[in-house]
Amino acid sequence: MSVSASRRTFLKTAGVAAAAMALPVSGQEASDAPAPRIVAGPYLQHVTPDAATVIWVTDTPCLSWVDYGPTPELGNRLQNSRHGLVDAYDVIHRIRISGLVPGHPCYYRVTSREIALFEPYRVDFGGQVEDAVRQFAPPLPEAGRTDFIVFNDVHANADTWARLHALAARAPFDFLAVNGDLLDHIQDHGQVTNRFLAPGAGPLDGARPLVFVRGNHEARGQYARRLPDYFDTPGGGYYYAFTRGPVHFLVLDGGEDKLDESNEYFGLVNFKPYLEQEAAWVAEQVKSDAFRQAAFRVVLCHIPLAASNPGDYRAPIIDALNGAGVDLSISGHTHKPAYREPEPGRDYPIVIGGAPDPASATLIRVEADPAVMRMQMTLADGTALESREFSARRA
């Protein structure tokens, strides 16, 4: 397809969404004030065959927008608005691009303009930062394969982030799943941006999605309640489902690793009913056509779904997964790389990634086509630890 034909196809599909959301940018001249900085991102979230969410973080409150199109010339502009108000004076910027053409490149550029003063009858704009033009390709629904990688338990170690990304870059992959405990705790905004998103999502170059799995340490600290502001997932929660190529994924939230009544939580957690609700959701998901018709079914959950402690709140989730035909569950948490075969009470295998320090950190790479799914776990220096192969099966 020629560039001009591709552009016509893109605009025909995207026109309704663009018309609904494209809003004029203020015509005021930017002041001589220093430009704001993008401190994290842009990074991709909730990517589907026809849509994707772009998120980025600035160091000062801004008005933001994204220009996008089927060529580097872009041609469309979006700002986000809710309840009649354009999103403004925030440092976290989130815009969903819809109407994309599966398999065709989408080029985009994010821009943020500082709001130096925001009063009821006066708004002063400051400097402006314009990012580079980036691109990604929405997946084809009928894609014949998918390759993805998994990091876990980085615990804000910058050296570990760098080494794992360098190892991942040796071969192509479709997305990165960060499988929990990327931080030790969350006390403020700066921890999320500087110690997680910048080193974790930055090397993806806004071209491949970041799939976030909450770990128990992401539930700790006064700022943990703000964490959803930085992500966009199907349904908006920490557990959700999606399909890439021949694989259907269940992304699950394992909650905390102790009972709600434990002294460490000071009465500020309530995971038991939350995980019961999640278990009911899982029980419905494993009956869905998307799950049952997939060549492979993969679960991502930070805490291994292998009940071993009395009163384990995750037991109902494990019960819902048993008998469903899960091919592989991928976890972390223990800081001890391992592969666990099915056992009584759990009829699916679990691979568990490594620890925060570079010498013990692991990368799990999974490659799947309609017939075979291959998993390999390596240390950050490339040393192979585990390798398994799974044949496709149907419900």
Q: In CATH, what number does 146-391 get?
A: 3.60.21.10
pTM (2 d.p.): 0.91
Q: What pLDDT was estimated at residue 26?
A: 45
Q: Is the pLDDT of residue 25 over 50?
A: no
Predicted confidence at residue 395, as pLDDT, reads 46
Query: What integer pLDDT is reported at residue 393 of this predicted model?
Result: 77
**Rounded mean pLDDT, 369-374:** 97
d(CA 115, CA 27) in angstroms, rounded, equals 14
Top-confidence residue, 13 or 32 = 32
Find tokens 């899982």 and name the residue: 282
Across the range 155-161, mean pLDDT stands at 98
Confidence of residue 210 (pLDDT cuts 50, 70, 90): very high
Confidence at residue 311, expressed as pLDDT on a 0 to 100 scale: 83
* DSSP string computed for 314-363: THHHHHHHTTS---EEEE-SSSS-EEE--BTTB-S-EEE---SSTTT-EE
pLDDT of residue 310: 72
Confidence of residue 394 (pLDDT cuts 50, 70, 90): low
Burial class (CB in 10 A: 0-12, 13-18, 19+), 132: exposed
Please report which confidence band the pLDDT of residue 34 belongs to, taking 50, 70 and 90 as the band edges: confident
Q: What share of the chain is helix, strand, coil (3-state, %, to 5)?
A: 20, 35, 40
Is the confidence at residue 7, as pLDDT, over 60? no
Q: How far lies 167's CA from each of 149, 172, 187, 211, in Å? A: 10, 11, 30, 18
Higher pLDDT, 31 or 350: 350
CATH architecture assigned to 3-136: Sandwich (2.60)
d(CA 355, CA 304): 14
Average pLDDT over residues 234-244: 96
Lowest mean pLDDT among 12-26, 79-93, 275-289: 12-26
Mind listing the pLDDT tens digit for each residue in 304-322? 999 777 789 999 999 999 9
**278-284 average pLDDT score:** 98
31 — pLDDT class (breaks 50, 70, 90): low
The three-state (H, E, C) secondary structure of 20-68, written as one string: HHCCCCCCCCCCCCCCCCEEEEEEEEEEECCEEEEEEEEEEEEEEEEEE
Residue 13 pLDDT grade (very low, low, confident, very high; cuts 50, 70, 90)? very low
On whether the CB atoms of residues 225 and 270 are closer than 8 A, the answer is no
Query: CA–CA separation, 39 vs 279, rounded Å?
Result: 37
Domain boundaries, the chain: 3-136, 146-391
Look at residue 20 in the predicted model and tell me its pLDDT.
34
227 CB-near residues (< 8 Å, 6+ apart): 186, 192, 214, 218
Compute the mean pLDDT over every residue in the chain, rounded to the nearest whole number: 92
Long-range contacts of 80-86 (CB under 8 A, 24+ apart): 80/21, 81/21, 81/23, 86/23
> What local confidence, expressed as pLDDT, does residue 24 receive?
39
Phi-psi region of 174 (alpha: psi -120 to 50; beta: other; left: phi over 0): alpha
For the chain, state the CA radius of gyration.
22
Q: Which of 29-33, 380-384, 388-392 has the lowest mean pLDDT?
A: 29-33
The stretch 47-66 carries a mean pLDDT of 98
> What is the structure's pLDDT at 1?
38
Is pLDDT at 14 greater than 80 in this prediction?
no
Question: What percentage of the chain has pLDDT greater than the value 70?
Answer: 91
Choice among 56-70, 272-286, 296-310 with the minimum mean pLDDT: 296-310
Strands 146-151 and 296-301: unpaired
pLDDT at 4: 35
3-state secondary structure of 383: coil
Q: Which residue has the higher pLDDT, 16 or 337?
A: 337
Task: State the Cα–Cα distance between residues 106 and 74, nearest whole angstrom.
Answer: 9
Q: For the beta carbon of residue 121, count every other beta carbon within 10 angstroms.
A: 4
Query: How many of the other CB atoms lie within 10 Å of CB of 194?
Result: 16
**Collapsing DSSP states into helix, strand and coil, what is residue 91?**
strand
